[in-house]
Amino acid sequence: MPEHDPNDDVLTELIVDHREVEELFVKLEGDLSAEDRQDALEQVVAELVRHAVAEEAWLYPAMRDFLDDGNALADREISEHHEVERMLKELEGSDPHDPASLPVLQALMTAVRGHVEEEEKQIFPALKAVCTPEQLHERDVPAALIPHRTSEGNRPSSVLLLDRLTPAALGTLVALYEHKVYIEGVLWGIDSFDQWGVELGKEIAGQILPALRGETDSSAYDSSTAALIARFRASNGD
pTM of the model: 0.57
Confidence band of 90 (pLDDT split at 50, 70, 90): confident
Q: Are residues 218 and 174 in the same domain?
A: yes
- Domain boundary at 116, 148, 180, which? 148
Please tell me the least confidently modeled range out of 31-35, 90-94, 101-105.
90-94
Q: Are residues 42 and 141 in the same domain?
A: yes
The per-residue pLDDT for 108 is: 92
Q: Are residues 144 and 175 in the same domain?
A: no
Q: Are residues 29 and 120 in the same domain?
A: yes
Average pLDDT over the chain, rounded to whole?
80
Q: Are residues 189 and 221 in the same domain?
A: yes
Q: Are residues 15 and 98 in the same domain?
A: yes
In angstroms, rounded to a whole number, what is the distance separating the alpha carbons of residues 8 and 143?
A: 7
Q: Are residues 130 and 229 in the same domain?
A: no
Strands in 110-163 per DSSP E? none
What's the total number of domains in the chain? 2
- Cα dihedral value 109, 122, 125, 147, nearest 10: -30
Let me know: does 49 contact 88? Beta carbons within 8 Å: yes
In angstroms, rounded to a whole number, what is the distance separating the alpha carbons of residues 151 and 238?
A: 29
Containing domain of residue 223, as a range? 167-235
pLDDT tens column, 134-165 = 777 755 555 555 566 666 666 677 788 888 88
> Does some domain include residue 103?
yes
Let me know: does 176 contact 187? Beta carbons within 8 Å: no
3-state secondary structure of 5: coil
Q: Are residues 123 and 20 in the same domain?
A: yes
Higher pLDDT, 87 or 223: 87
In angstroms, rounded to a whole number, what is the distance separating the alpha carbons of residues 137 and 38?
A: 36
Name the residue among 74, 73, 18, 78 with its Cα closest to residue 48.
18
Q: Are residues 132 and 176 in the same domain?
A: no
Q: Are residues 111 and 229 in the same domain?
A: no
3-state secondary structure of 4: coil
The span from the first CA to the last CA of the chain, in angstroms, equals 47
Q: Are residues 96 and 203 in the same domain?
A: no
The secondary structure of 72-100, three-state, reads HHHHHHHHHHHHHHHHHHHHCCCCCCCHH
The per-residue pLDDT for 153 is: 62
> Does some domain include residue 101?
yes
